Structure 1
Amino acid sequence: VEGGADVAGRFHRAGLVDRYVIYVAPALLGGEDGRAVMAGCGVPTMNDVWRGTVVHLERLGGDIRIDVTLSRETE
């Protein structure tokens, strides 16, 4: 599924994701009106964050593709 923060957050919360494909570019965005990767998936502490397992890294020009699957301890 490809979509914005709301779609990604809904699928994540419903447990319907088995793999994430994340693209990272050497660019920084910010500001109070910046968009989150996933809407509604905030956690109160770092101990509560979702953790995945990196299964593939690939450099694409100046960007990086990261494939992440669910970690066993998060299932």
Structure 2
Amino acid sequence: MMSNITAINAGVSGIQRGMAIAEKSAATIASTGNSTSGDPAAVAEPLVELMMARLQVEASAKVVETVSETIGTLIDTTA
């Protein structure tokens, strides 16, 4: 049971990290869009980081979902 709690904590932590990266990247993109330079290359890195953050959140959510299903199965089996 302890490993399930650890896995859920890791999943939630991954979601939080991904969201923080996404917020930072979005802010960078927004501020770059407001600049007068208009250099499209300036948004390339934050866009890639935003996509990576999305993947991190999706993967972490899958971890939480899988652990939740496993716990549900264990409860159903023991009931």
Q: Which structure: greater strand fraction?
A: 1
Greater length-normalized contact order (CA 8 Å, ≥ 6 residues apart): 2
Q: TM-score, normalised by structure 1?
A: 0.22
Q: Which structure: greater helix fraction?
A: 2
Q: TM-score, normalised by structure 2?
A: 0.21
